[in-house]
A and B are shown apart, each in its own frame.
Chain A
Amino acid sequence: MDGLIYLIPAALFLGLLGLAGFFWSINHNQYDDLEGASYRALFEEDDIAEELENKEKSNPKEEH
């Protein structure tokens, strides 16, 4: 049973790590927009820049 002396603190430490992660995610508004985030993962930053460039070329007057 001596192993318990290491194993219980190890288990508690891992649990606390998870809890800390959970608190971090609450504090950083990770749960505010559950729908949008799933789509955001699919965006490519480069694509957006390219699209905007194309748009400017096609009708330059629109942007001021």
Chain B
Amino acid sequence: MDQTLQKMFKIEHFVVEGLHCPKCIREIEGTLSENTKIKNARVNLSTQRLAVEWRPDVDTSVEHSEEVISALEKIGFKAFPFNTSQIDKEGEKAARSLLYAMGVAGFASANIMLLSVSVWSGDDMNETTRTMMHWVSALIALPTAVFSGMPFYKSAWGALKGRRLNMDVPISLAVILTCAMSLFGTYMQTDHTYYDAVVMLLFFLLTGRYLDQKMRSHARSVAHNLMSYKVSKATLLHEDGNTEDIASEMLSPGQIVQVIPGGKIPADGIVISGISDVDTSLVTGETIPAKVEKDSEVFAGTINLNGTLNIKITATSGNTLLDEIIVLMETAEQGRAKYVKLADRAAAIYAPLVHILSLSTFLGWFLFSNIGWEASLINAIAVLIITCPCALGLAVPVVQVVASSRLFKSGVLVKAADGLERLAEVDTVIFDKTGTLTLGQPELANYDDEDVTPFNLELAASLAKTSSHPLCRALIVACHDRDIPTIATKSEIYEEPGMGLKATINDLEVRLGNREWCGIHASYLPNNRYSELWLSVKGAKPVLFCFKDRMRQDAHDVVGWFLRRKMKVIMLSGDRKDVVEEAAEELGLSRYKYSCKPQDKIEVIERMKANGDKILMIGDGLNDAPALRAAHVSISPSSASEISQNAADFIFQSQKLETVVRAYQVSVSSRKLVFMNFAMAAIYNIIAVPFAAAGLLTPLIAAIAMSLSSIVVTANALRLNFEKLYRSHEP
């Protein structure tokens, strides 16, 4: 439905990388305005997106969006097509209706306050005028209570139907009862009505809620942008040999795609021709590339390293790796739904307490005095009004807004609404290795070997310079680090896919590649621990270059930080024993598990959960996705696979792991602040309730008490901005 609507208006959305300044807007909009097919192009700097509206006579198809992308590329911007998802739109709709409700409540509270102030200060006001003021207030307040209170009534009704209590139950009850009592009072021409308190309560609460919603939808949209950067095109190979670029989502089983070296494999499938190495680290956590040839199975998301592959797609039906992972994720999801939010837990204690207090006020007055049932009821409702959970309703959202925006500045996106609460409870941290503790990039490991001389490195680099293979690039990086010149040889270089490179230098044949390519027997320097490259020069001893995945700079510091706080830190990796053991030793970790399949990771988590451990899972690979869902709370780096990012509660954008510690610190402090806010709300109630129960409450006191408590709670939350956050030591 939405898609047809989008087609009708012919608007296409793009995410643009690196939009910063006003000049970018001008350049992009100016350049696109020259295209005669485009009616209007508009850049949104806040969301980093571009909306292009095509002229009505242009028929929309993939080719046109290519035009926009290439036009932007010419002026130095990278753009990606962006699909607005259903979730995005629903979030936007929710934010908009909250904004409407807030606007109405704001209008109402300002106007009613004007009337109320004149009633409070007008001692000489006669009764008729006062009653008229009350009726005007009722005229404004009642429709407002119906319209602006709707979000609360709906949620309260939902909770009651499910036989639960949430914060919206006491809020709704207070709003409805206060309105009813004020209306009764207006009708009976009494002195006191509380219309101003009702609409002010709604206005405060809606403001808090709107900000909370806005912050989260902002984080989600940034996360969504990050994912768009990963959208990949697939090259479809037709039977007549022609190729066509189409979006990966458009692929269907049975089609044949061509994947060039360095390209991402777009879907699960079987190789029908070609030989290459495939980097599967994002899927299995395994660091050594796997060799594939005809009839090998390959998985979506893995990267083809050095040979062109033609792949017949098998995915979307049957038992693909992805299906298996999705099933695992769904099962894991069910375990988590039991979590009850802090605010709702507070409400479960608070609501019955307040209602009992109010009931005993009524009974107390009714049975032990002679003021009659009407006055007793009015006193009972006064208790409800003064205990109106304004501060309590704001306690959580305000803290969350401040915490999320603080984390946003540190590069952490808070995706889940209750993520911060859950993170604060954590006592066990589980790390994935490849791509999480490590950067997922190979680095030369055996530079201490006597064979790895600057001369050999330079010679190897002269061949490696031309290749885009990750190991070759790692070799070049290693040379740069040691100030060894990397100049490509002038002689012709021949590259054999899946094997290596060959060139003739000074009449000697030089080869750089795998063991087989260099003709080295398997028993010579056996190695199944590192990724390897061999350099062989005819007549000379072959040289072995070993590569291992590089640790993130501050992985050691961060692991140490958690260990010092007596938390259990565990590493679960899909990689082989030797590699995992070495990494554990480097990090000072005593608990780890190697060769883990996705099921194994879940099993470990479930077992620990059964022991009452609250687990934080940090992982990036597709194989981590079910574990991310199963854990109490989860964090992914922004380099993670799309499915993992969807599964995680937080995403961090930095190269450093220190952001994980920061997220934890902020969550712990915000939990402290939430409790402090609850405590303040309680103290305020303890002071105020006796007044109300004694029948001494006036509307002026109610209004002052409510605004004061809200301001105190908000100011308290802002203290989070002054908290000092962890910074890892530079190596």
Contacts and interface: CB of A to CB of B under 8 A. Distances in A.
Interface in A4-56: 4, 8, 11-12, 15-16, 18-19, 22-23, 26, 31-36, 39-40, 42-43, 48, 51-52
Given A18-B107, A19-B103, A11 B47 contact: no
B45 A35 contact: yes
Given A22-B103, A26-B103, A42-B22, A15 B46 contact: no
Main secondary structure of the interface of B (DSSP, over half): helix
14 contacts: A4-B129, A4-B132, A22-B107, A23-B100, A26-B99, A31-B99, A33-B44, A33-B45, A36-B45, A39-B25, A39-B45, A42-B22, A43-B26, A52-B30
Interface string B12-41: 000000000110011000100010000000
A15 B108 CA distance: 9
B122 to A, nearest CB: 9
A15 B110 CA distance: 9
B290 interface: no
Contact of B100 (A4, A12, A26, A36): A26
Contacts of A39: 21-22, 25, 45
B405 to A, nearest CB: 14
Contacts of B115: 8
B43 interface: yes
A52 B307 CA distance: 44
A39 B45 CA distance: 10
Given A12-B111, A33-B45, A39-B45, A19 B22 contact: no
A15 B107 contact: yes
Contacts of A19: 103-104, 107
Main secondary structure of the interface of A (DSSP, over half): helix
B44 A8 contact: no
Contact of A1 (B103, B129, B140): B129
B46 A40 contact: no
A62 B74 contact: yes
A8 B114 CA distance: 10
B74 A40 contact: no
B30 A51 contact: yes
B264 to A, nearest CB: 31
Given A11-B114, A34-B46, A16 B107 contact: yes
Given A19-B103, A33-B44, 12 more contacts: A1-B125, A1-B126, A4-B132, A8-B115, A8-B136, A12-B136, A16-B107, A23-B103, A36-B44, A52-B30, A52-B34, A62-B74
B46 A35 contact: yes
A31 B25 CA distance: 17
Contact of B26 (A23, A48, A62): A48
A38 B30 CA distance: 18
B100 A32 contact: no
Nearest to A8: B136
B22 A40 contact: yes
Interface string B136-152: 10001000000000000
A61 B449 CA distance: 55
Contacts of B21: 39
A58 B578 CA distance: 61
Contacts of B129: 1, 4
Contacts of B136: 8, 12
B390 to A, nearest CB: 23
Contacts of B25: 36, 39-40, 43
B186 to A, nearest CB: 16
Interface in B520-557: none
A32 B218 CA distance: 11
B672 interface: no
Given A1-B129, A15-B110, A42-B22, A33 B47 contact: yes
Interface string B37-70: 0000001111100000000000000000000000
Contacts of A4: 129, 132
Nearest to A33: B44
A1 B133 CA distance: 12
Contact of A36 (B30, B46, B114, B125): B46
Nearest to A42: B22
B480 interface: no
Contacts of A62: 74
The 4 closest A-B pairs by CB, nearest first: A39-B22, A36-B45, A35-B45, A33-B44
Nearest to B25: A36
B107 A36 contact: no
Nearest to A35: B45
